[in-house]
Structure formats: C-alpha cells, structure tokens
Amino acid sequence: MSKYNKIILGTASFEPNYGFKKIKISKKKIFEILRFAKKKKLIIDTSRLYGSSLYYLKNLKFSGKRVISKFSKNINICKPEDIEKEFLIDINILNTKKILGYLIHNSNIFFLKNADKYYENLINLKKKKIIDNIGVSVYSIFEAKKILKKFKLDIIQIPINAMNLNSKMFNFLKLAKKKKVKIHARSIFLQGTLVANIKKNKYIKNYNLKLEKILKKKKINKVNYLFNLINSQKLIDKIVIGVENLDQLKELIYLKRSKFENFLINKNIKNNHIDPRNWN
C-alpha cells in the first residue's frame, strides 16, 4: 500500500476542455505524470471522456486494482444494459479483467424512472467480481443524499473544498459513514480557481481575497492550506487531485502534512455559486 494512499490522481485535466483554463497538456507531460503515479502506486480516476487517458494507462501497464473508471455515456441515448457494455470496453482498453471501481458519471441516471435497472446492472458487475466498488460522482450534497436514500453504494465522489467545508458538509460526511460509504473528495481547488485569480465568479473572487489576507497574516502557503484542510478530515477517505505537470503532482505528494481549521466558514454560499456547470 502506498504511503500516499489518500491521494487519487484524477485524469480529467488530460482533456483539453476541462476546467476554466482549458489547458492542453502534452503527451510527454501526461506520461511523466502517469509514470510517477505508477511508481508511487497511486490510484487513478479516469473515464473515456478524459481524452485518451485509458489508452495511456494501458500503454504503461497500470494494474486494474488501481483504476477507477466511470460510466459516461450520454444520458439521452443510454440504456441500462449499456452499463456492462461500456464497462467491458473500458477493461478491454485497459487490458485487465477487473478494476477497483466503476462510478456513474452523470448522477441524473439515478433520478430516471428506470434508475433501478441501471443500479441492477451495476450490482451485477460487482457480483461477477470484476469490480470491487460501485458508486457515483455528484455535484451536491442534495444529490448525494437523495441517491443514498434509495441505493446502496460503496463510493461517492463529491466536491469538497474550503468554500463548502461547513456544518452541512460535515453532517453529510457523518451520514455517509453510517451508511459505510467511502467519500472521495474532488475539486478541492475548485478546478484551480481557488489558487488562481479568477474574476468570472464574484463569490470565488471575494473568497480568495479574504482567504489570502488571512493566510498572509498567518504566513501559510495557500496550496498547503487548501490541500491539508481536506486531507486532515478523518471522514474523507480519498482526495482526487488533477495536475497539469509532474511538478504539481510532486508538490502535493511531498507536501508536509498539517492540520488546519477552516478560517472562512461559508454559511451563506449556495452550491450553485460554486458549481462549475453554472460558470460561463
């Protein structure tokens, strides 16, 4: 087991249209990142939506035991039986017989009239022992709670960062623990907007100004604070991080572990204020 086992390398940033910066990462840099991740035995979070990431993993002979993929077929044209069809395509690309986890990428599938059938197909993959964990990626606590009321899952991926780490989030994390659901925090830097001077979103802009003032006074590095605030939460099992180059990954891997309080509790920030789907 890797000593960095709480970190999962997300590959969404390998897709040029990801995030507000939309940076195209060269193949050379991607392979540098993935070779290092393999050496450090990191889990990889991927999807066929994320560029050619599955093919990169195959090329580097990544173990399926360290791969989490997602069912990402367009919700408007997919059918329940496509769960297994798409999964088999993924493991065929990866040249493996089994992977660590398979998640529903679009949580709206769980709100369809035939959601039970999609869930049944997920469960069947687990019964066949070709995946260890099933789950979903969501954007809000509301979505997660609604899904967990009806379906038993192993993993919930949800945005958790300094802006939404408040009492509502802690209550949800406690609920997830009671239901024995593993929490994978993603968007801990809000697609990089918490470490960049973004002007498109006034809520993030105002938060950044206030936080930077506090951190400057306390002489705390911003990346250190944002990462360790989430990393030190015992109710969070894993952290999905995306990087643009190897130096960024190394910075987070070797970052000194510290415990921080949330200096700016956001009681009035609504989820839609920081939901990337609402950004221009």
Could you report the per-residue pLDDT of 142-168, keeping only the tens digit for each?
Answer: 999 999 999 999 999 999 999 999 999
What pLDDT is recorded for position 1?
A: 42
Angle between helices 167-178 and 141-150 (to 10 degrees): 20
Domain membership flag for residue 156: yes
Domain membership flag for residue 49: yes
What pLDDT is recorded for position 269?
A: 73
Residues of the chain with pLDDT below 50 are 1
What pLDDT is recorded for position 18?
A: 59
Q: Domain count for the chain, please give it.
A: 1
pTM here is: 0.93
Range of the domain at 192: 7-278
User: Structure tokens of 27?
Assistant: 């193949």
Q: Where are the alpha helices (DSSP H) in the chain?
A: 27-39, 53-59, 82-94, 115-127, 141-150, 167-178, 202-218, 222-231, 246-253
The enclosing domain of 220 has a CATH number of 3.20.20.100
Domain membership flag for residue 135: yes
Could you report the per-residue pLDDT of 166-208, keeping only the tens digit for each?
Answer: 999 999 999 999 999 999 999 999 988 898 766 668 888 889 9
Domain membership flag for residue 1: no
Domain membership flag for residue 2: no
Domain membership flag for residue 184: yes
